[in-house]
A and B are shown apart, each in its own frame.
Chain A
Amino acid sequence: MNKGLTLRDVVITKGGAPLLRVSHEVAAGEVLSIMGPSGVGKSTLLAFITGTLAPDFSATGSVWLDGVDITHAPAHQRRVGILFQDDLLFPHLSVGANLAFGLRAGGTKSDRQAKIDAALTEVGLEGFAGRDPATLSGGQKARVALMRMLLSEPCGLLLDEPFSRLDTALRAQVRALVFARAKARGLPVLMVTHDAEDAEAAGGDIVTLTPSP
């Protein structure tokens, strides 16, 4: 079995014009950074991988995750986790309920509660389960969003400019946390960024997309 995330001859076009072309393998625990100026289609590539490509784009090629072709799988069955630059915590749910939404179904009630508490403890937020997400600081929100995603037990991780909203001090801290958690779980990570520092910190391959002529 071939662990990791593979993009095989992926070509995305918009209205017939080619937008980007990627073919790359990301091994388990590795990080691939995709860089390039805005408008080059970085986020479009992520939408293709999550299965939420807008109808005005079309794509060829395939996406494989842990040896399974997920190119045409429904978005909710792909087991690809994603983090955006905004935390996107569900504003109507408490911190604990946000995590419960992510946690895979099954297990007894106390079992699930224990997992949620453990996840909060893992990122230094014990006792935060009952809080309104809107009352958290930027760094706290980012940590909850990370744990919500990890609780869904994804097989791969996508990062869409995930640290660009955080200030410099917080940024290095959250970045280190995300990469450490991903590595600990052996997840292949695909990060889209325009910040060279992020790509450097990731320590993996770097692909630079250029605007197609």
Chain B
Amino acid sequence: MKSRRLLPVLPLLTLLAMLGPVIAGLYGTVLPAFGHLPAAGLTGPTLSPFFDLFDWAGLPRAIMLSVGVGVGATAIALTIVALLTAGWSGTPAFRFLERLLSPLLSVPHAAAAFGLAFLITPSGWISRALSPAMTGWDRPPDLLIVQDPWGLTMMTGLVIKEVPFLLLITLAALGQADTRRSAAVAQALGYGRLTGWLKTVFPRVYAQIRLPVYVVLAYSMSVVDVAVILGPNTPASLSVHIVKLMSDPDIAMRLQGAAAALVQLGLVIGALVFWRIGEGVVARLGQRWIMGGGRGKIDPIMCILALTAGGICAFAVLAGIVVLGVWSFAGFWSFPDFLPEQFILRNWMRHGSGTLAALGETALIAGCVTLMALVLTIGCLEAEYRYGLSISARGMWMLYLPLLIPQTAFLPGLQTLMLNIGADVGRFPVMLAHLVFVLPYVFLSLADPFRAWDVRMGTIANALGARPDRVLWRVRLPMLLRPILTAAAVGLSVSVGQYLATLLIGGGRVATLTTEAVALASGGDRRAIGVYGIMQTGAALIPFTLALVVPAIVWRNRKGLRHE
């Protein structure tokens, strides 16, 4: 009975895989930040790495960018999602937008950022569409839109990617609360749709989506790939600066990088505390608003604004992918023309072998990591079912912890630690680093359907003489084929989109589609970016398509499993 010994260990193994690298990485960050790096002959503690960092003139600006973009993007995305759901949930327009946005969730951040850039630069698609007829431009105007010093474009890039995420999380939360009747009661009392929803349903829903909102905040503050593509250069945001310092051969720079990583961690913790206090303030204001009894006179305007904002987010990602595709096939394409003079295959031929190698690497890493995550997740959930080893509320925080600690705070430390103990950087460590991010998403995606399975099916199968393992393999897993494939698709897309973990832990030697694509950002070769961006998007989207198609084919003659 191998499984009897193995299964109860899996929850522990899962926690270790998720938290081990985070804790090790933080440890590996703290020591060098205080000047302690025995491998380089340095012993601390000293504060000089911090003093060196504070001497950098760009620091205040970099911190401002990190905080401003992070908090701004989160607040805007949350506002759009709340108003959109308030004003439109249950309507055909909402269902349409929901269908449009759910696949966009899997589009990697880097690809969405490139797509946005190709739309809104002075020579981008929008400017081409309006020129020269409406603008009179026959050459691109000299405007700094992408990489603007205030980080507004970067913030936009984050908003368009986080709106789909928060919207789907909100929809999942809506299913659990009895929201429809509350909204109906509010409307019967004369409240507008939007105001009634915000006053009665939103507080309950927010309590459920709080942790994912924190994840968006921590992520937006410390993101690297979107910042490299859309963010300003002089100075860059703090996380980009950390990566720059960490890739410097000079040891003193690495110490400074570790110090900056700790500052980043402090900033994120501070921002989370600030946000938590802000929740209290908003709740207080909201209560006053509810007591006032206003029925929502400007609801119709707010509804239109919310739908417009949601539509813009969907359009920006979708049109971004299209323009990436157009560039990847573009021959000569002069400015005000809306389309290239000819479509050619040469770009794909030129980058073919490079992209195929990167695709292979991406698929290998994503496949292995997702498989590991599925085994651990199913093991945890099955152990919970058989032995009652359930994950408590504290466990939920543990699932979110790796997503709340900024990547730039622990990945550099993990890299330093690995170099110190002489571990080889490369593919396998990269997989373990990816697992930290993939596991929580796979777990969160599979846990609800797995637990919702009717346990009487298990009782029946047991009573028919089937061992627990047979019940799992022959009954439970086949019945859960669709959610398992969906969780796998989520895992694959998270792994495909990883930039920093691949770059740092791979020591620059592991080339995936994402690292290759981001590396092209500074070069500005739009055709190459188009090719890599499309490949990256495809690598994330195709698994989602398969997760829909495969169960439909496998269970084509099983009506009981079709509608879910």
Chain A interfacial positions (CB closer than 8 Å to B): 47, 50-52, 55, 74-82, 84, 86, 88, 90-92, 101-102, 104, 132-135, 148-149, 152, 154
In contact, B466 and A101 (Cβ under 8 angstroms): yes
In contact, B479 and A102 (Cβ under 8 angstroms): no
Extra contacts, 4 of them, besides A51-B462, A75-B463 (Cβ < 8 A), are: A52-B462, A86-B456, A92-B478, A102-B465
Q: Which residues of A contact B388 (CB under 8 A)?
A: 55
Q: Which residues of A contact B466 (CB under 8 A)?
A: 76, 101
In contact, A82 and B459 (Cβ under 8 angstroms): yes
Max chain B CB contacts within 10 Å: which of A75, A78, A104?
Answer: A75
The answer to whether B351 has its CB under 8 Å from any CB of chain A is no
The answer to whether B468 has its CB under 8 Å from any CB of chain A is yes
In contact, B463 and A134 (Cβ under 8 angstroms): no
Cβ contacts A to B, 14 pairs, < 8 Å: A50-B462, A74-B467, A76-B463, A76-B465, A78-B463, A81-B463, A88-B456, A91-B558, A92-B478, A92-B479, A132-B557, A134-B560, A135-B559, A152-B463
Q: Which residues of A contact B468 (CB under 8 A)?
A: 75-76
Given contacts A132-B557, A133-B560, contact A90 B479 (CB under 8 A): yes
Chain B interfacial positions (CB closer than 8 Å to A): 388, 454-468, 474-475, 478-479, 481, 555, 557-561
How long is the Cα–Cα vector from A42 to B464 in the complex, in angstroms?
21
How far, in Å, is A48 (CB) from chain B's closest CB? 12
In contact, B456 and A149 (Cβ under 8 angstroms): no
Q: Which of A50, A88, A135, A154 is close to B454, meaning CB atoms less than 8 Å apart?
A: A88
How long is the Cα–Cα vector from A90 to B481 in the complex, in angstroms?
13
In contact, B460 and A82 (Cβ under 8 angstroms): yes
How far, in Å, is B453 (CB) from chain A's closest CB? 11
Number of A-B contacts (CB under 8 A): 78
Q: Which of A76, A104, A132, A149 is close to B467, meaning CB atoms less than 8 Å apart?
A: A76
In contact, B475 and A90 (Cβ under 8 angstroms): yes
Given contacts A55-B388, A101-B474, contact A92 B463 (CB under 8 A): no
Q: Which residue of chain B is the closest to A88 with respect to CB atoms? A: B460
Given contacts A132-B557, A134-B558, contact A75 B479 (CB under 8 A): no
Q: Which residue of chain B is the closest to A153 with respect to CB atoms? A: B465
How long is the Cα–Cα vector from A77 to B470 in the complex, in angstroms?
13
How long is the Cα–Cα vector from A88 to B558 in the complex, in angstroms?
14
How long is the Cα–Cα vector from A79 to B463 in the complex, in angstroms?
6
Q: Which residues of A contact B461 (CB under 8 A)?
A: 90, 101
In contact, A92 and B555 (Cβ under 8 angstroms): yes
Q: Which of B465, B475, B481 is close to A152, meaning CB atoms less than 8 Å apart?
A: B465
How long is the Cα–Cα vector from A193 to B388 in the complex, in angstroms?
29
In contact, B462 and A75 (Cβ under 8 angstroms): yes
Q: Which residues of A contact B465 (CB under 8 A)?
A: 76-77, 79, 102, 104, 152
Q: Which residue of chain B is the closest to A80 with respect to CB atoms? A: B463
Q: Which of B457, B460, B463, B558 is close to A132, meaning CB atoms less than 8 Å apart?
A: B558
Q: Which residues of B contact A101 (CB under 8 A)?
A: 461, 464, 466, 474-475
Q: Which residues of A contact B475 (CB under 8 A)?
A: 90, 92, 101
Given contacts A90-B475, A92-B555, A92-B561, contact A50 B464 (CB under 8 A): no
How long is the Cα–Cα vector from A82 to B464 in the complex, in angstroms?
9
In contact, A132 and B462 (Cβ under 8 angstroms): no
How far, in Å, is A98 (CB) from chain B's closest CB? 10
